[in-house]
Amino acid sequence: MVEIDYKSFALICKNIEIFELEGELENILASVEEKFKIKYSVGVSDSSKDLFELPKMYRRAKRLLDYKFIYKSSSIIFQEKISQNKLNNYYYPIELESKLISKTLSGNIIGIKKIINEIFEEKLEDAEFNKHKIKEFSALLYNTLNRIIILLQEFHDKKKIQSIELEKLNKSTDLLLLRENFLSLLLDICKITKNENQNDSDIVKVKIQTYLEENYMKDISLENLADYLGHSFKYTSILFKKLIGDNFKSYLSQYRIEKAKNIMKNNSDYKIKDIAEMVGCNSSNTFIRMFRRYEGTSPGKYTEMEEEL
């Protein structure tokens, strides 16, 4: 077993048949869920005879977890199963679609372009991506656009929305043209969503606060926030200090501590390591040091004081 980070690890299995491996993994997952109330998803790559390929195998196994939304009935996803179903011919993860929808509705053009490159990257390298696959893939992109349109209709002028020519996708004869048309349609949508006052301080501040509220429990950085806002790293750093009155790292730490205090007030049964993970800290020690710095006491003593009140 190789520990990757506080919530993931890799298992390297030697000389074991797939059916036997699946049974062993199912037993492990059932035991973990029963004992720790944690659900894990497992991606199993193809086998390799070369130790130098292990990093590559790990990355391949991790990417399989993108398909967990399709295989909801199973916590274990095998590379062989994905290959047999040929899902990677024209499928892209629902999480990636969610990011694309979010960035389109917020008018984040830089973020949109990054995600489109990610969606098309492997497919452009596939020499066997024929007309049938292009048709299937364009239908998937069409569905994504439809989901965006449905959300747009709640807040924007329907006449402008109806002017978006979704049929552009059907005219795509190759992947490069399909990518160009898809990007063009998303940029058309961005024009509709663009707010004349989008640079207004209050609006940007709300965006920052929304991002922190939705992501403080994750391993986020100022670079992630810059990507979300569609600004450069340097500009985001200046903007954050100007609007919030503190630097990103310090403010995020205090934000997490406040969230942790709320958790401790409402439930004293959680262990320190559980609370640390819930507020985005990668270890108990980091969380304790951070808590002492801003509260002047340890999390344990803080909980005791709250219970005495």
HEC string of 187-237 equals HHHHHHHCCCCCCCHHHHHHHHHHHHHHHCCCCCCHHHHHHHHCCCHHHHH
Q: Choose the final residue of a domain: 193, 225, 260.
A: 193
Residue 128 · residue 180 · CB < 8 Å:
no
The verdict on 240 and 253 lying in the same domain is no
The verdict on 297 and 229 lying in the same domain is no
Count up the domains in the chain and report the number: 4
The verdict on 152 and 179 lying in the same domain is yes
Show the tokens assigned to 134: 């292009």
Query: Tens digit of pLDDT for each residue in 121-169?
Result: 777 777 666 777 788 788 888 888 888 887 776 555 566 676 777 778 8
The verdict on 155 and 123 lying in the same domain is yes
The verdict on 230 and 180 lying in the same domain is no
Q: Choose the final residue of a domain: 149, 171, 193.
A: 193
The verdict on 239 and 254 lying in the same domain is no
Query: Tens digit of pLDDT for each residue in 172-217?
Result: 788 889 899 999 989 888 877 664 444 467 778 888 999 999 999 9
The verdict on 130 and 164 lying in the same domain is yes
pLDDT value at residue 302: 86
pLDDT tier at 290, thresholds 50, 70, 90: very high
Residue 206 · residue 198 · CB < 8 Å:
no
Residues 106-132, mean pLDDT to the nearest whole number: 80
Whole domain around residue 286: which residue ranges?
249-308
Torsion angles phi and psi, residue 10, rounded to 5 = -115, 140
Report which of 113, 182, 191 is spatially closest to residue 144, judged by C-alpha positions: 182
The verdict on 177 and 237 lying in the same domain is no
42 pLDDT more than 80: yes
Helix 175-193 × helix 109-124 angle, to 10°: 170
Q: Choose the final residue of a domain: 49, 68, 85.
A: 85
- Give the residue carrying structure tokens 């999390």: 299
The verdict on 183 and 106 lying in the same domain is yes
Query: Tens digit of pLDDT for each residue in 18-37?
Result: 888 888 999 998 998 888 88
The verdict on 185 and 155 lying in the same domain is yes
Collapsed DSSP state (helix, strand, coil) of residue 148: helix
Residue 175 · residue 134 · CB < 8 Å:
yes
The verdict on 213 and 176 lying in the same domain is no
The verdict on 173 and 215 lying in the same domain is no
